[in-house]
Structure 1
Amino acid sequence: MPARLVEIFLPEAEVTQLEEILPRHCRRYWRETVPGGQEKYSCIVQQRYAERLLNELEAAFESMPTFTAYVAQLEAVLPPVEETAETELLGPNALRPPTAIERFFSRERISTDELYDDIEESLHITPSYLLTVILSSIIAALGMRSGQTAVVIGAMIIAPLLGPTMGVALAATVGNWNLGRKAAGTLLVGALFAVLGGILVGHFVVIDPLVSELQNRTVVQPADIALALACGAAGVLAFSRGASLTLVGVMIAVALVPPLAATGIFLGVDQPVVAASALFLFAINLVCVNVAGIVMFLVQGLPPKNWRITSGILAVWVFILMLLASMMAGRLVFGLGALETGRRYIMGGG
């Protein structure tokens, strides 16, 4: 069972209250005195209990200037930290034990604070971030231009839009408006620079707009919605369990980076109508990733601050998805979403 080492520093006067809290969340902890009149507690906490321990510590001690707690991942613990339905620790306000389904889905999720820390660095608009976005888009654009899928995957591994995308879904789930605004702004700027990277390739490199890798980014089919939903769900599932960001990046980038690069390429070769089709694919993918991301965060047991707000945001995303899906259906019915239509626009046939 995955475990965390939680180390807590606080004044000696608060030890009694802390020792009332700890047994509710862990079975192994040690105390030692450190300089400055502080006491240090080292606790081995199962990953599934780290969230609620940190929440209770924050509620009890956050007003104390000398209180500090930090979390580290443990590679191994001897004897092993075992947990069964019979021995699990109930929360301080638990009215009932968790169901088998709740236990199954939430047992290995990392805490919300760890999720915040993993995302935080990628939400700053820095020269490094902008350059990474442009390079990722250029690599994807060149890969699509030459029909080399492996090169496109290489662009996905860079995954510059991963953090902002996860940040938008996480903010919607927990109702954190500051995080949401910051993530959305970073994602918007990143998307614009990704399109710019595609424009550079379309303007300076000889492009055959009829190559299949590019044409596939101008057509939106029901399968594309299923793909984007699967990408978002799988990405959040891996991310919330502390998986490699590269793995998560491939899941998310497959739905976001190539359509943006294709949009830029078609703008660079003066095909705005076809570019709009690629941008439409990006819009559907972005909405799908957020819908699936919010749902998967909730399934993983991420606690919203206000269920009404989270439900409302999810309802808005679902409404937008239904609206875009209706537009996609209309385009298919009238033949505007077919590959042949795109070829006629590119070849000047109207």
Structure 2
Amino acid sequence: MSARLVQIYLPESHIVRVEDILPRHSRRFWRETIPGGQEKYSCIVQQRYTERLLDELETELGSVEGFLLTVQQLEAAFPTIEETAETELRLHTDLPPPNALERFFSRDRLSTDEINDDIDESLHIRPSYLLTVTLSAIIAGLGMNAGQVAVVIGAMIIAPLLGPTMGLALAATVGDNRLGLRAAATLAIGCIFALLSGWALGIAVEIDPLVSELRNRTLVQPADIALALACGAAGVLAFSRGASLSLVGVMIAVALVPPLAAAGMYFGAGYPQSGGAALFLFAINLVCVNVAGIAMFLFQGLPPKSWRMTGGILALWTGILVVLALMVAGRIALGVGA
């Protein structure tokens, strides 16, 4: 059952407002009085309604002193809550009800607040974050140099760049400048550490520049653009439904960590041209992941604060992708890096 248990604490003087809001989003809710002149409301909310309930409660009661709201995942409820187009809880607005396609793709999605909370913890630049980035790059680099795909996949499960990458796409989608700056700073520092780790590895370990796992990170083909777009879309889709972070990490890290580690190793071993080619692949992958991520977030119904801002950012990322794709086409036509 895709539902949440939402608990609301507020002063008794505001019960009329909350009892006006809850029936529009929940079929089951109950009230109890708690010490200190507070009232507690507990309600079962289907996942598809959680987003709009939280938004309306924040708008109406967010500034009320003593207001507190918590959300918990609900495993089961009996009797079950059946949801059909006929029994759908509609808002009292002039907006048209969602069509069947919108219902299908948004019904299991986490609310924006839940996604934000999942991402927020990974945006703190702590020693543990820098250490996991370093270890991930080293493991990926050693795995590529030895031609061992399983080792490279093991590095992906660490998934250090997952949170910042998702945070960048989410910030662009909902128009959160603060989140975007935090995500960009964390991602940039993580990328620098991954690059430096690969560089140190390239100095310390003898590498074979022609080993397939390394050389593949210097060859950019149209298929690589498609792969990065698919990684971004699949990663956001899984992440926004509460999938395992390791699973999402494999989707995202496969497009980001290996080329960074490979670039550092090539630079450290004295192959600057190959290192530059690996960085070019990383740039394409990063742009693709953000384009696909923003598009998938929008496709699932995350509400932008400003369509103009979100559309502008998506257009900018898409424009950069077009330029990079043209560069790939030019390299292929000239036989560069073949």
Band of TM-score, shorter chain? over 0.9
Task: Indicate the residue corresponding to 2:53 in structure 1.
Answer: 53
Q: More deviation in 134-143 or 242-251?
A: 242-251
Q: Structure 1, residues 179-198: CA drift from partner, whole Å, max 9, x if none?
A: 00110010000000011111
Task: Indicate the residue corresponding to 2:140 in structure 1.
Answer: 140
Cα distance in structure 1, aligned partners of 2:69 and 2:81:
21
Task: Indicate the residue corresponding to 1:335 in structure 2.
Answer: 335
TM-score of the pair, normalised by structure 1: 0.95
Task: Indicate the residue corresponding to 2:170 in structure 1.
Answer: 170
Cα distance in structure 1, aligned partners of 2:95 and 2:185:
40
Q: Structure 1, residues 56-111: CA drift from partner, whole Å, max 9, x if none?
A: 00001111120000100011111122211110101232532211111111111110
Cα distance in structure 2, aligned partners of 1:82 and 1:197:
53
Task: Indicate the residue corresponding to 1:67 in structure 2.
Answer: 67
1:30 counterpart SS class: strand
Task: Indicate the residue corresponding to 2:232 in structure 1.
Answer: 232
Q: Structure 1, residues 147-206: CA drift from partner, whole Å, max 9, x if none?
A: 000000000000000000000000000010100011001000000001111112111112
Q: Does 1:13 align with 2:13?
A: yes
Task: Indicate the residue corresponding to 1:215 in structure 2.
Answer: 215
Cα distance in structure 1, aligned partners of 2:117 and 2:260:
27
Say if 1:328 and 1:337, in contact at 8 Å, map to a contact too.
no
Equivalent residue letter for 2:30: W
Aligned pairs for 1:251-290 within 5 A: 251-290=251-290
Cα distance in structure 2, aligned partners of 1:329 and 1:10:
60
Cα distance in structure 2, aligned partners of 1:156 and 1:175:
29
Aligned pairs for 1:49-198 within 5 A: 49-198=49-198
2:186 counterpart SS class: helix
Equivalent residue letter for 1:85: A
Say if 1:9 and 1:40, in contact at 8 Å, map to a contact too.
yes
1:84 counterpart SS class: coil
Structure 2: gaps (5+ residues): none
Cα distance in structure 2, aligned partners of 1:252 and 1:172:
17
1:5 counterpart SS class: strand
Say if 1:145 and 1:208, in contact at 8 Å, map to a contact too.
yes
Cα distance in structure 2, aligned partners of 1:297 and 1:319:
19
Say if 1:136 and 1:156, in contact at 8 Å, map to a contact too.
yes
Task: Indicate the residue corresponding to 1:344 in structure 2.
Answer: none
Task: Indicate the residue corresponding to 2:203 in structure 1.
Answer: 203
Say if 1:164 and 1:187, in contact at 8 Å, map to a contact too.
yes
Equivalent residue letter for 2:185: G
1:169 counterpart SS class: helix
Cα distance in structure 1, aligned partners of 2:197 and 2:248:
22
Say if 1:119 and 1:166, in contact at 8 Å, map to a contact too.
yes
Runs of 4+ in 1 over 4 A off after TM superposition: none
Cα distance in structure 1, aligned partners of 2:125 and 2:192:
12
Cα distance in structure 2, aligned partners of 1:83 and 1:235:
28
Structure 1: gaps (5+ residues): 339-350
Task: Indicate the residue corresponding to 1:341 in structure 2.
Answer: none
The structural deviation recorded for 1:286 is 0.3
Question: CA 1:237/1:285 → structure 2, altered by over 3 Å: closer, same or farther?
Answer: same
Equivalent residue letter for 1:238: A
1:6 counterpart SS class: strand
Q: Structure 1, residues 277-333: CA drift from partner, whole Å, max 9, x if none?
A: 000000000000000000000000000000011000000000000000111111111
Cα distance in structure 1, aligned partners of 2:158 and 2:235:
15
Cα distance in structure 2, aligned partners of 1:96 and 1:322:
35
Cα distance in structure 2, aligned partners of 1:118 and 1:233:
18
TM-score of the pair, normalised by structure 2: 0.99
Cα distance in structure 2, aligned partners of 1:183 and 1:94:
36
1:189 counterpart SS class: helix
The structural deviation recorded for 1:35 is 1.1
Cα distance in structure 2, aligned partners of 1:136 and 1:92:
50
RMSD after superposition: 0.8
The structural deviation recorded for 1:260 is 0.4
Task: Indicate the residue corresponding to 2:241 in structure 1.
Answer: 241
Cα distance in structure 1, aligned partners of 2:214 and 2:263:
9
1:86 counterpart SS class: coil
Equivalent residue letter for 2:295: V
